[in-house]
Chain A
Amino acid sequence: MTAVFKKLNTAFGRIFSDQQKTISYRSQHPFWVIVQKEVMDHINSWRFVILLLLMLLTAVASLYTAMSSLQSAITEDTSTPFVFLKLFTATDGTLPPFITFISLLGPIIGIALGFDAVNSERNRGTLSRLLAQPIPRDYIINAKLVASLLVVTIMVATLGMLMMGLGILLTGIPPMPEEFWRVFFFLLVSIVYIGVWLNLAIMFSVKFKQSATSALSSLAVWLFFSMFFSMIINVIVVATIPAHIAGTDQIIGYQSFVQNLLRISPSQLFSEATTTLLVPTVRTLGPITVEQAYGAIAGPLPLGQSLLLVWSQLTCLLAVAFIIFGLSYVMFMKQEVRSRS
């Protein structure tokens, strides 16, 4: 009797307490060991839960605003057959649509996942212990980036699928293959965009010893681009506007000058890329003359053409991400390792 009781007890003990549990690493390779550990850390952390809740809220809110305006959006605009995509872009004016939400939330996700990547290890005193193991030094920073990107990918993919799934349930309209691919590329661009901010945050986490400082500086850069940057551009526009009413060429030249200035901001690149991808009727991102538009057949662009239109935006975003990561890589490799200082 007691034996049975004992057995039951241990069995229940195993179920109800997480004692006796150890982490087993799937890979033999140290790089993937670090990646697994980092992903685990992210997923077990409160910040991941908070970010997930934020994303869930985003999905619900943007679906709500899309649903309440979908009817009018369809009746107003009959030029496009892509009704499903409107779920991501339509708004009734009370709440921003999904793409705006992402361009707002994306940086937060990136910064939240990266701002203490390196300096927290340093402050906990684990960095010097880690560096004393027989692994190349760059494994640490590379693995951290890969792990955070994996987490971002999971988050964005989840969010995208959630939006699509709920959209299908609520509207009863299934997406066409082209719509699916457009959403797919949109999510891909979103990951790259979040990656830019993630890299920026990682760079600051290498640079600054205090996590608070690196978080603040990442947020400062984000605030600069989301608020002050357009103001500065406005000032420049007012100062440099041609005095006389000039010829068409000059006006177009000036217009593209201003647009290129705006494109310094990653969020501008992102919004141009995503708008083009999700609104197939967008045919050009620059100024267009009546002569150019004359004779054009009104209708949506095919996916290939839309992609071609935003190719440079996508390349720029990727380039920015790579440059920032390169900087943090060099900084990390050159940094003197002392415990906790």
Chain B
Amino acid sequence: MAKEKIIKLDGLTKKYGQLTAVDQLTLSIQRGEIFGLLGPNGAGKTTTILMLLGLSEPTSGKAEVCGVDPTFQPLLVKEKVGYLPDEVGFYENLSGLDNLLYTAALNGVDSSVAEERAKLLLEQVDLTSRAYDKVQTYSRGMKQRLGLADILIKEPEVIVLDEPTSGIDPEGVRELLALIKQLSQERNMTVLLSSHHLYQVQQICDRVGLFVEGKLIAVGPIKELGYNLFKSDPIRLEVEVEPIDEQLISAIEANQYVTRVDYSQKRLLISCQQHIGAEIAGIITKHGARLTHLSQHDYGLDEIYHRYFEEGR
């Protein structure tokens, strides 16, 4: 089965005067996929999302969502795409249920269907007991869950979440992400989420795209990304030594397989082409320093991100 591409971006560019917020973005996302847009603040994630929804016009390039160009037919796109903005807000003086019913009414959902659907969704996001309470009494995490229910009430094909985990405690984040994953599987929904929290995204995304200063510098499953990026120095050793001085570092750097050495808080991070733990230990003991810890380090998204971010600069 050839997978259907539900979001297609082709050379999408957005300029604000001199500043290029999004630069020649080409990307496609398949139906049912959970895609993470990763990048630091101001990398152009939100701008990209706004262009996807037709809320902002691209300077050049083309976007296609569910087979529709959002720049020219934003209403059709908005019927099929649910968008949860960064720091979503609700009408605080209305109850959670009423907020959902308002959205339903704006989407032309018949009022008899709407109430049933809203209650079902509130149950799914675990807000049934607070359905009739005013939103001003809700916590941040509850509002975010209500936001999720809010975008699902129009039964979208795609949901776009802008920084869905910002400002929520770790447990809340875990629950929210699990909920997103579960909902996307149940409804075969495509999810596009943006974040700068790497580990959170790592947990649920099928693929991620790394965004730095308007450019998409890498796309793919997280493992692949790491492999491609660190081809030249696939092994990383974490070493704890006392004392650390310049001579020791330069002695390690002198080894032919070592590509770089990073120093932070009594630890050395050594990137190398081969597993040379024994040699490193030898160098350290020869130098008269005390080795307390040596381990091989896996590349997490953190490193990938950091590496890319450095290169992007």
A binds B: yes
Instruction: Name 28 A/B residue pairs within 8 A (Cβ), A-sorted.
Output: A22-B95, A22-B101, A22-B115, A23-B94, A24-B111, A25-B105, A28-B108, A30-B105, A30-B108, A33-B102, A124-B90, A126-B90, A128-B55, A128-B83, A129-B103, A129-B147, A132-B53, A132-B85, A134-B75, A134-B106, A134-B154, A336-B56, A337-B56, A338-B50, A339-B88, A339-B89, A339-B162, A340-B87
Least CB separation from A339: chain B residue: B85
The reply to whether A132 and B82 contact each other, CB–CB distance below 8 Å, is yes
Known: A132-B78, A337-B56. 5 other contacts (CB 8 A): A25-B102, A30-B107, A33-B102, A33-B106, A129-B150
Chain B neighbourhood of A37, CB < 8 A: 102
Question: B50 and A337: CB pair below 8 A?
Answer: yes
Residues of B contacting A136 in the complex (Cβ-Cβ under 8 angstroms): 75
A19 at the interface (CB under 8 A from B): yes
CB contacts (< 8 Å) of B150 on chain A: these are: 129
Residue of B nearest to A45 (CB): B93
Residues of A within 8 Å of B78, CB to CB, are: 132-135
Q: A19-B132, A133-B106 are in contact. Are A125 and B75 (CB under 8 A)?
A: no
Does B92 lie within 8 Å of A124, measured CB to CB? yes
- Which residues on the A side are within 8 Å of B147 (C-beta)? 129
Contact count band on A: 20 to 34
The residues of A that contact B98 with a CB separation of less than 8 Å are 22-23
Q: How far is the CB of A302 from chain B (nearest CB, A)?
A: 49
Interface: A20 (CB within 8 A): yes
Decide if B206 is an interface residue (CB 8 Å cutoff): no
A24, B87: Cα distance in complex, Å:
27
Residues of B within 8 A of A21 (CB): 132
From A20, A34, A338, B132 is in contact (CB under 8 Å) with: A20
1-32 of chain A: CB within 8 A of chain B: 19-25, 28, 30
- A240 beta carbon closer than 8 Å to chain B: no
Decide yes or no: A23 and B88 within 8 Å by CB, A132-B82, A132-B83 being known contacts. no
* Cβ-based interface call for B13 (8 A): no
Binding site of A, secondary structure by majority: helix, strand, loop or mixed?
A: loop
B253 at interface (Cβ–Cβ under 8 A)? no
Roughly how many angstroms separate A323 CA and B80 CA in the complex, as a whole number?
A: 36
Task: Please give, as numbers and ranges, the residues of chain B lying within 8 Å of A44 by CB-CB distance.
Answer: 93
| CB–CB A128/B85 < 8 A | yes
By beta carbon, the residue of chain A nearest B111 is: A24
From 287 to 341 in chain A, residues with beta carbon under 8 angstroms from any chain B beta carbon are 336-340
* Pair A134/B85 contact, Cβ less than 8 Å: no
- Indicate the member of A24, A37, A124, A133 with the most B CB atoms within 10 Å: A133
Residues A131 and B55 in contact, CB atoms below 8 Å apart: yes
Does the CB pair A125–B89 fall under 8 Å?
Answer: yes
Hey, which bits of chain A sit against chain B, CB under 8 A? 19-25, 28, 30, 33-34, 37, 41, 44, 124-126, 128-136, 336-340
Q: Which residues in B have their C-beta under 8 angstroms from that of A125? A: 85, 87-90
| Interface class of chain B by DSSP | mixed
Instruction: Indicate if the CB atoms of B55 and A132 lie closer than 8 Å.
Output: yes
Task: Using known A-B contacts A25-B111, A336-B56, A337-B55, determine if residue A133 contacts B93 with beta carbons closer than 8 Å.
Answer: no
Tell me how far the C-beta of A116 lies from the nearest C-beta in chain B, rounded to whole angstroms: 13
Which of A19, A23, A129 gathers the greatest number of chain B CB atoms within 10 Å?
A: A129
- The residue in chain A whose Cβ has the minimal distance to the Cβ of B55 is A337
A115–B91 alpha-carbon span in the complex (Å)? 18
Top 9 A-B residue pairs of the complex, sorted by shortest distance between their CB atoms? A125-B89, A132-B83, A134-B78, A124-B89, A128-B85, A339-B85, A134-B79, A33-B105, A25-B105
Docked CA distance A21–B150 (Å): 19
Write the nearest CB–CB distance from B272 to chain A, whole angstroms. 45
Q: Determine whether the beta carbon of B103 is less than 8 Å from that of A133.
A: yes
Tell me the complex Cα distance, A336–B51, Å.
Answer: 11
Q: Does B304 contact A (CB under 8 A)?
A: no
CB atoms of A338 and B97 under 8 A apart = no
Q: Taking the complex as formed, is B271 at the interface, i.e. its CB lies under 8 A from any CB of chain A?
A: no
Q: Which of A19, A22, A23: most chain B CB closer than 10 A? A: A22
Of chain B, the residue at the smallest CB distance from A32 is B105
In the complex formed, the residue of A with least CB distance to B83 is A132
Task: Give Cα distance in the complex from A339 to B53, angstroms.
Answer: 14
Instruction: Decide if B46 is an interface residue (CB 8 Å cutoff).
Output: yes
B86: CB under 8 A from chain A? Answer: yes
Q: Which of chain B's residues has its CB closest to A338's CB?
A: B46
Instruction: List B contacts of A24 (CB < 8 A).
Output: 101, 111
Complex CA–CA separation, A30 to B79 (angstroms): 13
Chain B contacts of A23 at CB under 8 A? 94, 98, 101-102
The minimal Cβ–Cβ distance linking B24 to chain A, given in whole angstroms, is 21
CA distance A338 to B151 in the complex (A): 18
Q: Please determine whether A133 and B101 come into contact, CB atoms closer than 8 angstroms.
A: no
Q: Is A339's CB under 8 angstroms from B87's CB?
A: yes
Residues from chain B with Cβ under 8 Å of A131 in the complex = 55
Closest chain B CB from A202 CB (angstroms) = 19
- Collect the chain A residues with CB atoms within 8 Å of residue B94's CB: 23
A134 vs B107: C-alpha distance in the bound complex, in angstroms? 6
What's the nearest-Cβ distance from chain B to residue A243, in Å?
A: 54
CB-defined contacts of B97 to chain A, threshold 8 Å: 22
CB within 8 Å of A: which B80-132 residues: 81-95, 97-98, 101-103, 105-108, 110-111, 115, 132
Q: Say yes or no: A133 contacts B88, CB within 8 Å.
A: no
A121 and chain B: residue at smallest CB distance: B89
Residue of B nearest to A33 (CB): B105
A23 to B118, CA, bound (A): 13
Q: Are B111 and A124 in contact (CB under 8 A)?
A: no
* Partner pick for B106 among A30, A128, A338, A339, CB 8 A cutoff: A30
Q: Complex formed: what's the CA distance from A19 to B150 in Å?
A: 20
- Complex partner residue of A135 from B84, B86, B89, B106, CB under 8 angstroms: B106
Q: Tell me the bound Cα distance from A339 to B132 in angstroms.
A: 26
A21 to chain B, nearest CB (A): 8
Against A, the Cβ 8 Å flags (1 = close, 0 = not) of B55-73 are: 1100000000000000000
**B89 in complex: contacting residue of A19, A20, A33, A126, CB < 8 Å:** A126
